[in-house]
Chains A and B, each alone.
Chain A
Amino acid sequence: MASSSTPKYNSNSLESSGKRTLKDGTNWEQNEEIPRLPGETRVTDKDVIYMCPFNGPVKGRVYITNYRLYLRSVENDPVVVLNVPLGVISRIEKMGGASSRGENSYGLDITCKDMRNLRFALKQEGHSRRDIFEVLTKYAFPQSHNLLFFAFLNEEKFSENGWMVYNPMSEYRRQGLPNERWRVTFINEHYGLCDTYPALLVVPYNATDEDLKKVAAFRSRNRIPVLSWIHPETQAVIMRCSQPLVGMSGKRNKDDERYLDIIREANGQISKLTIYDARPNVNAVANKATGGGYEGEDAYPNAELFFLDIHNIHVMRESLKKLKDIVYPNVEESHWLSSLESTHWLEHIKLVLTGAIQVADKVSSGRSSVLVHCSDGWDRTAQLTSLAMLMLDSYYRTIEGFEVLVQKEWISFGHKFASRIGHGDKNHADADRSPIFLQFIDCVWQMSKQFPTAFEFNEQFLITILDHLYSCRFGTFLYNSESVREKEKVTEKTLSLWSLINSEKSKYTNPFYSKELNRALYPVASMRHLELWVSYYIRWNPRIRQQPNPVEQRYMELLALRDDYIRRLEELQITNNSKIPNSSASSTSPSQMMSQVQTHF
């Protein structure tokens, strides 16, 4: 165990930060100074001083490509390495001026989206930072400079094609749809009904496409109630939509009212339809002023409305900002727990989880269909429906199932990834940015902590998803909606993140996973059982000991050993093949090798 031999009891040295970057899966050509992906091109490099917040100034050389910022120290042992995809950069500032005094006071300050900041000091002569500032700004914010995302230049090859993972039709078929009560409609094929919805929608059999058009007029941004998931036994469904356009005058819409009744009756339900409005009550009321609102009792006598008290994107953004303040660069030591409490981050996580539990429980134990919405139905609604589905359907707890879930409930239903993350956009203070998807992944992590055997994927899987949420190396999270992605030909011109993951699944597999079908999982959403995800939020701090799951750690060691054996076998084969004519070394496919590995040892 390497961790036991660290020199100081509170320090883990720089080793880990160096190692982590090498596991990135990028090709490392021995004769090159920096790792490069196919399609990645070098732009510039420069001598800088990296102002490491943990270990002080580090002299090094920084290389900038069209994909990443890469720094290697020149004097330190072990070598300090920074490997940062430019996509994570949210802001670049110049610090100090040509005349500012003090050591290392002149340079660049970079704020990142992944809970860290980077600071580089440069020599205070001849506008030394001008070119590097310009290059960084250009490639970190390609959208603001009429450049393509790196995803469109990426020429990586993977054995799996991640774009094949999600096919809406086969996912609905897996759920047993369409059936005699639910039909698939192509009304939105050209995104004419709703430009932020997917092309394929599932709606009640008894509602005609004409009905849907009328309902759309009464729902914010035409996001009508559509089916997300159906319970295989109770036939109760989870529906998602946006808020009704009630407004100050308390407008009503007969078609919407009837449509909700059709939904309620679809599973032969006599009791009321449950509507979960994700917002706090007051916010829902306040939305009336801007034309929105909620389903009132008078207009919807057959519905029961509950507010789930989850705050909006601005509150979440501020909360994460506070969290970053207390963990980066230095962890608030003296009042750690009360500082953590005052960020309210875990409180928000709790509310999201609690809401999802209520949705899941209503559908499963309450045998009642539910309708979930917030304001526009693309943030909190996506959190609630996807988490409830994760609790109810064990398929979504597999690696592929989870990919399908993200692809369906988030990407296809128009969670505005481009606006929330600000891909390639220089407006760091944009009020549309918010860590809604991060919050969802945090909730999934909390669940995986409470049910260590229920998920096929491990923590690394979740962290990898978050890393590439920002990296812009894959097309998966680019743009705000399916219609824009189609226009930009994302699936043709970029690679899917799932290609990377599915080509190397063992790396993301939870070794404890024991397949269990149809068990509903309800996490305990009490504060006492929620933890801060230290290995994500504080992962840059070398003083925080990484706590790899012991079995996983051993599993990784075994995988590394196996790779080593395969490599040696390959070498042996090459030497063998060179002796035996007629057998070409290059045609030995890896899968053939695998079977030989097994019989050989």
Chain B
Amino acid sequence: MEFSELIKTATVENVLLSCAGLPAVRGTLCITSHHLLLSSCPGGDVELWLLIRNVDAVEKRLTGSSGTITLRCKDLKVLQLEIPGMEECLNIASSIEALSSVDSVMMMYPFFYRPPSLKLEEGWHQFPLEQYFQQISSQTSQWRLSTVNQDFSTCPTYPPAVIVPAAVGDEALRKAARFRQGGRFPVLSYFHPKNRTVMLRSSQPLTGPNRRRCREDETLLGTILDEGERGFIIDTRSAQAAKQARMTGGGTEPKSSYPQWRRLHRPLERGRPLQESFAKLVEACSDPSLSMDRWLGRLESSRWLSHVKAALSTACLAAQCMDREEATVLVHGAEGTDTTLLVTALAQVILDPSCRTLVGFQGLLEREWIQAGHPFHLRCAHSAYSHARLKQEAPLFLLFLDCVWQLSRQFPFSLEFGERLLLSLFDNAYASAYGTFLCNNEKERSLCKVKESTHSLWAWLNRPEEQQKLLNPLYSHNALVIWPSVEPQSIQLWQGLFLRWIRPSQHLDEAWAEIQRLVEENNTPAKESTGNRLSQSLSDHTAGMENRR
């Protein structure tokens, strides 16, 4: 396939671009294989530089000799193009439709993007699992790094290396893998340095209607616990759903075969209901006619905030089991690639200060989402606007980012990064110039040679000038566990994301800049005595203190 075949009209003159909150501009529209460009006059500024992959839905409306195309983007932005000429309008619309729905990974922009300032290999090997394993092995010898999945044959969605109990051999792992859906046998997700408890994750056991058992799986989970020790299995399905899964070959760990484990069911929504919740919320946010009176009702009926609350509560439960009960935790749902990762990743942000730094958070995403096999390509194929028949889309990653945002709001000092990073991750997960979120798992990435032929998002974000924009000026290391409040009033709509293109952000940006300025001013004489800094920053406010004793 050639891109040129998909582009029916490459340029149109005199196109009017309008976008909420910005003045409309007229210029020449130009379609390239990956971008939509609009420049106001020849040689002039480029007003629009849109990655076509970012387009989620194309709507066209013809009136007389001209037409209007509405582009609804995956990052939730909405653009309108007024195009003179009916044929041009139709051509442009169908070109954008065709280009935005190219499904072949290797045709995507990251494979063509070659920024001069970055090297291809940069950032791809920044977070090897070996490194994480070394941290653990310096504190305990109960775990080993297994290469049983070197050729992806044991589990196609796991990375080549996984951390497993030292006492279990590779052969037993292969057998245990056959007893778990998609081969996702229990592996270590997180080691809690504070009390040396661990969190594991897997997929559901294939108990089936005949209550099948697997000795190797039982031993694997058995060896982790000492005599008399209890472990918790957090199943992200309801007890009912887990039971029903037996009919289709899945199931849960029965008490009789796993006597030391206690099962807790915490149903979390995923798949279609979650995608629909996302779409409903975005629809409510972008409905201009909405009378204010119905807003809260629609916000509630989208149920998005209850999903946020449920995800945070379940992650808190997992974290509580580890931090307070000092118990081992195994998390799984059905496939173990969606809500499972949501819970394990979120629990780590709550528990571990090293996941709350800019680089540590990237490492967490790499380990618990990307290498752990969250199917980004399927889940993020479409965003909230798409009319296309949904296949496997679901905004689990967005839900995770939203939960992290809630944490950052409740603990404004404890995360080293700000909202900007979260927004950038959301944008890049859905449409990106970088290869980081391409494909569904490491096996596919290796087949497509993603790491050899595309740039890593981390390489870009970790350039000092980019990092500067992502950092939270108020950050100060907090070694404690951050327990969020999950009361309904404490969970807020993430306006920075859902109202990003709707609300005017000027004043909030100003306030942010002011904070940055204040903090920088405060930090410059960092080596000087406290008193000096105090009198500097507070000299304006010395009046009126007289009658305090």
Q: A452-B508, A538-B489, A543-B485 are in contact. Are A527 and B480 (CB under 8 A)?
A: no
Taking the closest CB of chain B, its distance from the CB of A109, in whole angstroms, is 25
- Assembly CA distance A296 to B268 (angstroms): 60
Q: A5-B480, A452-B508, A561-B534 are in contact. Are A594 and B545 (CB under 8 A)?
A: yes
Report B302-329 residues with CB < 8 Å from chain A CB: 305, 316, 320
A–B Cβ pairs within 8 angstroms, 27 of them: A1-B414, A4-B483, A9-B486, A10-B483, A337-B488, A338-B296, A338-B300, A340-B296, A341-B297, A341-B300, A350-B292, A452-B511, A505-B543, A512-B511, A514-B510, A514-B514, A526-B292, A528-B295, A528-B499, A529-B495, A554-B474, A558-B534, A562-B538, A565-B531, A566-B548, A591-B546, A598-B535
Report, nearest first, the 5 A-B pairs whose CB atoms are least far apart: A601-B531, A9-B483, A527-B292, A337-B300, A452-B511
Whether A1 and B538, one on each chain, are in contact in the complex, defined by CB atoms closer than 8 angstroms, is no
We find that the number of chain A residues with CB closer than 8 angstroms to chain B is: 71
Whether B409 and A547, one on each chain, are in contact in the complex, defined by CB atoms closer than 8 angstroms, is yes
Check A124 for interface membership: any CB of B closer than 8 A: no
Q: A1-B413, A335-B300 are in contact. Are A565 and B547 (CB under 8 A)?
A: no
- Assembly CA distance A283 to B490 (angstroms): 38
Closest to A594 in B: B542
Seed contacts A4-B480, A551-B474; 16 additional CB < 8 Å A-B pairs: A1-B411, A1-B478, A3-B411, A4-B414, A5-B480, A10-B486, A159-B547, A337-B296, A338-B297, A338-B301, A452-B507, A453-B511, A502-B544, A504-B544, A528-B295, A550-B515
Whether A532 and B538, one on each chain, are in contact in the complex, defined by CB atoms closer than 8 angstroms, is no
Check B503 for interface membership: any CB of A closer than 8 A: yes
Check B210 for interface membership: any CB of A closer than 8 A: no
Taking the closest CB of chain A, its distance from the CB of B456, in whole angstroms, is 32
Report A499-538 residues with CB < 8 Å from chain B CB: 502-506, 509, 511-512, 514, 524, 526-529, 531-532, 534, 538
- Assembly CA distance A566 to B413 (angstroms): 28
Report B504-549 residues with CB < 8 Å from chain A CB: 504, 507-508, 510-511, 514-515, 518-519, 529-532, 534-535, 537-539, 541-549
Report which of A9, A157, A159 forms a contact with B485, defined as CB distance below 8 A.
A9
Check B98 for interface membership: any CB of A closer than 8 A: no
Q: A1-B480, A512-B511 are in contact. Are A331 and B487 (CB under 8 A)?
A: yes
Contacts of A529 in B (CB 8 A): 495, 499, 503
Taking the closest CB of chain A, its distance from the CB of B491, in whole angstroms, is 9
Interface string of A336-358 (1 = CB under 8 A from B): 11101100101100100000000
Whether A10 and B487, one on each chain, are in contact in the complex, defined by CB atoms closer than 8 angstroms, is yes
Closest to B474 in A: A550
We find that the number of chain B residues with CB closer than 8 angstroms to chain A is: 65
Whether B296 and A346, one on each chain, are in contact in the complex, defined by CB atoms closer than 8 angstroms, is yes
Taking the closest CB of chain B, its distance from the CB of A500, in whole angstroms, is 10
Q: A547-B409, A562-B538 are in contact. Are A331 and B511 (CB under 8 A)?
A: no
- Assembly CA distance A189 to B185 (angstroms): 88
Whether A527 and B507, one on each chain, are in contact in the complex, defined by CB atoms closer than 8 angstroms, is no
- Assembly CA distance A4 to B413 (angstroms): 11
Check B171 for interface membership: any CB of A closer than 8 A: no
Check A8 for interface membership: any CB of B closer than 8 A: yes
Contacts of B547 in A (CB 8 A): 157-159, 503-504, 590
The listed residue with most B CB atoms (<10 A of its CB), out of A451, A550, A567, is A550
- Assembly CA distance A64 to B296 (angstroms): 43
- Assembly CA distance A567 to B546 (angstroms): 12
Check A248 for interface membership: any CB of B closer than 8 A: no
Check B484 for interface membership: any CB of A closer than 8 A: yes
Contacts of B37 in A (CB 8 A): none
Check B481 for interface membership: any CB of A closer than 8 A: yes
- Assembly CA distance A543 to B485 (angstroms): 8
- Assembly CA distance A514 to B541 (angstroms): 15
The listed residue with most A CB atoms (<10 A of its CB), out of B301, B478, B483, is B483
Report A530-573 residues with CB < 8 Å from chain B CB: 531-532, 534, 538, 543-545, 547, 550-551, 554, 558-559, 561-563, 565-567
Check B86 for interface membership: any CB of A closer than 8 A: no
Check B36 for interface membership: any CB of A closer than 8 A: no
Whether A337 and B297, one on each chain, are in contact in the complex, defined by CB atoms closer than 8 angstroms, is yes
Check A315 for interface membership: any CB of B closer than 8 A: no
Interface string of A343-375 (1 = CB under 8 A from B): 010110010000000000000000000000000
Whether A527 and B486, one on each chain, are in contact in the complex, defined by CB atoms closer than 8 angstroms, is no
Whether A527 and B542, one on each chain, are in contact in the complex, defined by CB atoms closer than 8 angstroms, is no
Closest to B546 in A: A590
Interface string of B220-241 (1 = CB under 8 A from A): 0000000000000000000000
Check B285 for interface membership: any CB of A closer than 8 A: yes
Check A148 for interface membership: any CB of B closer than 8 A: no
The listed residue with most B CB atoms (<10 A of its CB), out of A10, A157, A346, A528, is A528
Check A405 for interface membership: any CB of B closer than 8 A: no
- Assembly CA distance A158 to B413 (angstroms): 36
- Assembly CA distance A228 to B490 (angstroms): 40
- Assembly CA distance A91 to B531 (angstroms): 49
Contacts of B531 in A (CB 8 A): 565, 600-601
Whether A527 and B300, one on each chain, are in contact in the complex, defined by CB atoms closer than 8 angstroms, is no
Contacts of A3 in B (CB 8 A): 411
Contacts of A451 in B (CB 8 A): 507
Report which of B294, B490, B542, B545 forms a contact with A598, defined as CB distance below 8 A.
B542
Check A6 for interface membership: any CB of B closer than 8 A: yes
Whether A527 and B293, one on each chain, are in contact in the complex, defined by CB atoms closer than 8 angstroms, is yes
Q: A341-B296, A512-B518, A558-B534 are in contact. Are A9 and B320 (CB under 8 A)?
A: yes
Check B12 for interface membership: any CB of A closer than 8 A: no
Whether B548 and A504, one on each chain, are in contact in the complex, defined by CB atoms closer than 8 angstroms, is yes
- Assembly CA distance A344 to B296 (angstroms): 10
Check A33 for interface membership: any CB of B closer than 8 A: no
Taking the closest CB of chain A, its distance from the CB of B499, in whole angstroms, is 6
Contacts of B514 in A (CB 8 A): 452-453, 512, 514
- Assembly CA distance A3 to B484 (angstroms): 9
Whether B545 and A544, one on each chain, are in contact in the complex, defined by CB atoms closer than 8 angstroms, is no
Q: A454-B507, A565-B534 are in contact. Are A4 and B544 (CB under 8 A)?
A: no
Contacts of B549 in A (CB 8 A): 567
